[in-house]
Every structure is written in C-alpha cells, then in structure tokens.
Amino acid sequence: MKKSVSVNYNELRHIAWKNRLRILNMVHDGASGHLGGALSACDIITYLGECVIDYSSDERDRFILSKGHAVTALYAEFNEIGIVKNEELSTFRKLNSRLSGHTNREKIPETEVTTGLLGQGVSYGVGMAFAKKLKKSKKTVYVMIGDGETHEGQIWEALMEAGHFKLDNLVLIIDRNGLCSHQPVENVISIEPLKERLESFGWFVKDINGHSMEEIDSAITSLKSQYGKPKCIIAHTVKGKGISFMENDGQWHRNIPTEKQYNVAKEELEAQIGGNDVESI
C-alpha cells in the first residue's frame, strides 16, 4: 500500500465527498455522463487512489475500471492527486478534451486500458495478472466491474480462466448497486447466488459495505494474505450515493440534472464537505 501509517478514515470520507462534488460538476458542465454508477463507485475508487495505487511508479499495482462509463469517479480522484488539473474538469466530454466519456489510455495513460464495451475489463485484468506472475512481480491487479456487467458472457470466461490459473494477484471488485442501467439487475437476469457462483469458479469472495472506508480497507488489506485463488470483493453500494433524490433511482443512470436539481445536489454535497475545501472544487 502507498501509506505506511494507519489509514485516516475520516480524511478518506472527506476526500470521497469532494470527489462526489467533482463528479456532479463534471456531468453538469459537460451536459453528459453517468452520475449514478460513478457515485456508487466513488468510495472504493477514492480509497484505491489514496491508499493503494502509486500512480507515480511504473512498477505499481494496477487498477482497471471496466465499467468505464463511471470514469468521472476516476477523474475526480486523479484531480485530487494531481494527475488531472482543476481547469480540465470543466472540459469533460468536450471536443479535444483529455477527459473522455470512458477511460482512454492514449489520453490518460494512468487509466491503464481503454474501456467502454462492458465485459472486457476482467479479461484485461487476467492478462495483466498472468504477465505479472511470469515476471515474478509481487504487484496486484484490481478490476472494478458493475453488477449488471456480469450479464456479459466474457466476464465468466475470464473468471473461469483466473480460477484455473490460481491468479491470487488479481482482485475483482463488483460494484453491487443493484441496478443494471435503469432497471433492477435481478429483473433483467438474476445473478444470485453471486458469492456461491464465484466460489464455484475457484475464487475467494468477501461481501462488504462499499461505502464504508473501514470495511473497504479491511477487505483489501486482508486479501493480501490470501494465496492460491483469485479474490473478489462484492461491494454492496447505492446507485447515486450521496445525493438524496438520486439514490436507488434508475433514472439517474444517465440523466443530466436540471439547473434546479444541480443546485440542490450541490448544496447537499457541499454541506457534507464544509469549510474552505468547497471553494477549491
């Protein structure tokens, strides 16, 4: 992990709230984007950026955001750690901007791979983890997918391969917010019992609250001492987390808030952040 000192959970929560405001502002300014899934993934992406991935090192742990439409959560954290400049945030999804609507490795190499076609991220992760094994690297590959993304067959091919080769340097994080685009995941195609299915493919699986920094930290830290199997964190989250009228509402998968809705959401997030930090976002 990046930090040798104990993790400050309050500080991590504070950064995550700032990142949520950045997400809201990007989608508002760009008049395009996906709020719900970015807000649900925000806490985990913040934790990884602050505590796990050392983006300044070429020999680092890797993070692949397979659910690439949630990229504003990653750009927000990149802004927090200095990879994306403040003035870039307002260019999200605009012509010639580095901040594309999905991760684009050619524009921002730290995004690792170009994603957007759902289902491919785990396959990328398997390849990276296998390569690290061959190189005898001790680094870990983290991949985040959405729960609706598990409807893609390629996911299960990659899960089977990772289990077969016992890729214990691969950590899959499933953003289990319960909604596939606008509809409940279970209404589209049921993926339960998810934990048992993953275990049958040879994976070690943990269920956590994906908005609890304590549980995120505990899960990722404890998995480092698990060997012989690829690892999965099923992170139970809330789509639209942090903005009251967006939470658990499928319409906010891709809706753009009106000016009135934006101001309400902005006030809610600023109240959580407080202090001078609001002015710097």
Q: Tell me which long-range contacts 128-134 makes (C-beta under 8 A, separation of at least 24).
A: 128/62, 128/64, 129/162, 129/167, 129/169, 129/170, 129/230, 130/165, 130/167, 132/169, 133/165, 133/167, 133/169
Q: Would you say residue 1 lies in a domain?
A: no
- Residues 204-229 have pLDDT tens digits of 999 999 999 999 999 999 999 999 99
What whole-number distance in Å separates Cα of residue 190 and Cα of residue 171? 23
Question: 129 near 169, Cβ under 8 Å?
Answer: yes
Query: What's the pLDDT at 5?
Result: 52
pLDDT at 100 over 50: yes
For the segment 155-181, the average pLDDT, to the nearest whole number, is 98
The band of 4, judged by pLDDT with boundaries at 50, 70 and 90, is very low
Number of domains in the chain: 1
Q: Mean pLDDT throughout 92-105? A: 96
Q: Does 4 fall in a domain? A: no
pLDDT of residue 6: 74
Residue 170, domain CATH: 3.40.50.970
Distance in angstroms (rounded) separating the CA atoms of residues 75 and 216: 20
Please provide the average confidence, as pLDDT, over all residues in the chain: 96
Assigned domain for 227 exists: yes
Query: So what's the pLDDT on residue 1?
Result: 44
Q: Does 89 reside within a domain?
A: yes
pLDDT score recorded for residue 279: 74
Please give the Cα distance from 135 to 151 (Å, whole number): 33
Per-residue pLDDT at 276: 77
| Domain-located, residue 69 | yes
Write out the two tokens for 101: 């609507």
Name the pLDDT band for 277 (thresholds 50, 70, 90). confident
**Sheet of 62-65, strands arranged across:** 62-65, 141-146, 170-176, 231-236, 204-209
- Please report whether residue 272 resides in a domain: yes
Counting residues of the chain whose pLDDT is more than 70, the rounded percentage is 98
Model pLDDT, residue 207: 98
Mean pLDDT of 153-181: 98
| Domain assignment of residue 181, yes or no | yes
> Mean pLDDT across the stretch 185-200?
98
The predicted model gives 75-88 an average pLDDT of: 98
- Mean pLDDT computed over 242-251: 97
| pLDDT single digits (tens) 19-68 | 999 999 999 999 999 999 999 999 999 999 999 999 999 999 999 999 99
pLDDT at residue number 2: 57
**pTM above 0.75?**
yes
Residue 55 lies in a domain: yes
Please say if the pLDDT value at position 240 is more than 90.
yes
Domain with 125 in it: 9-280
Q: Taking residues 160-186, report their average pLDDT.
A: 97
